[in-house]
């Protein structure tokens, strides 16, 4: 049997997930996450040696179209539609903080 998660462990998990929890929620999730881990522990003990591995049981498959690139007839006009542009390029907000 797996042991119950401590409040500190739940707080650490919440911090890693960037989720703020109240003391009541920490207590609640300590119990609930411990129950989930206990169930996973039970599943790990099931003998699956004779079970064939599978990743798809319905027989369905994805239907994909060919990836075709169409040329833009007037790229300057397209760039002009962007909220910000400079030197024939579209300007966008920074996605990642560069540390400065």
Residue spans of the domains in the chain: they are 7-44
- Residue 10, SS3? helix
Predicted confidence band of residue 98 (pLDDT cuts 50, 70, 90): low
pLDDT value of position 72: 87
> Residue 75: CB partners within 8 Å, gap ≥ 6?
88
What global pTM score does this model have? 0.48
pLDDT value of position 16: 92
Predicted confidence band of residue 56 (pLDDT cuts 50, 70, 90): confident
Is the per-residue pLDDT at 100 higher than 70? no
Q: How far is Cα 60 from Cα 53, in angstroms, rounded to an integer?
A: 17
- For 7-44, the fitting CATH number among 1.10.20, 1.10.3470, 3.30.160, 1.10.1200 is 1.10.20
């Amino acid at each position: 049997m797996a042991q119950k998660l401590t409040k500190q462990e739940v707080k650490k998990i919440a911090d890693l997930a960037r989720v703020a929890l109240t003391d009541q929620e920490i207590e609640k999730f300590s119990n609930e996450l411990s129950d989930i881990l206990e169930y996973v522990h039970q599943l790990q003990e099931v003998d699956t040696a004779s079970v064939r591995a599978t990743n798809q049981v319905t027989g369905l498959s994805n239907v994909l179209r060919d990836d075709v690139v169409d040329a833009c007839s007037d790229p300057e006009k397209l760039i002009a539609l962007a909220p910000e542009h400079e030197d024939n390029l579209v300007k966008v907000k920074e996605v990642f903080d560069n540390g400065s």
